[in-house]
Amino acid sequence: MIEQEVSRPGGVFVGRERELAELGAALDEAESGRGSLFLLAGEPGIGKSRLAGELAARARERGFLVLWGRCWEAGGAPAYWPWVQALRAHVRATDRDDLAEQLGAGAGQVAQMIPDVRAVLVGRGKLGSSKGPTIAPAQSVLSWASAIAEKRNL
Ligand SMILES: Nc1ncnc2c1ncn2[C@@H]1O[C@H](COP(=O)(O)OP(=O)(O)O)[C@@H](O)[C@H]1O
Ligand SMILES: [Mg+2]
């Protein structure tokens, strides 16, 4: 999640104790290396975004790296757009050497998805890896996310 966009939203957060307990337990699990996926569903205005923002703030306070991507309802968004947004924030905040190390063999594939990565890799001879055996872009992103999470809870 793009951190500046999820700084605690204004106003007091009320209720949602059960949901926060469940999501907080999932953070405990993530700290132990067991990730999970949650879907927050409900009518417009019911509080989905606010709950996600509250969870993001709590995770950040616990030292997690929080990356945030949003879908684009109107159509015409680039492929993998939510992933691009989330990971672009990480690219901009990360040292180039560390980034190249994290990206590993999937660097070329990821660079096709995230132009910021291309800029980082140009001149490092890393882009050539996209001409080698093809790793699916999604797999390259997963490998990258795993490498990030090896150093810090994600
Ligand atoms: N638990 C809560 N405590 C305080 N305000 C809340 C809470 N949940 C939602 N709100 C407020 O209600 C409004 C709508 O919530 P939002 O999260 O945007 O809904 P959704 O994403 O489900 O459409 C926002 O102004 C939000 O800050
Ligand atoms: Mg919302």
Q: What is the DSSP-derived secondary structure letter of residue 78?
A: P
Which ligand has its closest atom nearest to the C-alpha of 51?
1
| pLDDT over threshold 80, residue 137 | no
- pLDDT, one tens digit per residue, over 6-40 is 546 568 888 989 999 999 999 999 998 888 999 99
pTM of the model: 0.78
| Burial per residue of 118-144, b for 16 or more beta-carbon CB atoms within 10 angstroms, e otherwise | bebbeeeebbebbeeeebebeebbebb
Backbone angles phi, psi at 42, to 5 degrees: 165, 175
pLDDT at 8: 60
Tokens of 138: 């999604």
pLDDT interval class at 3 (50, 70, 90):
very low
Distance 8 CA to ligand 1 centre (A): 12
Neighbours of ion ligand 2 (CB under 5 A): 48-49
Q: For all residues of the chain together, what is the average pLDDT?
A: 82
Distance 97 CA to ligand 2 centre (A): 36
> Rounded mean pLDDT of 60-78?
88
Distance 20 CA to ligand 1 centre (A): 14
Tell me how far apart the alpha carbons of residues 25 and 27 are, in angstroms, rounded to a whole number.
5
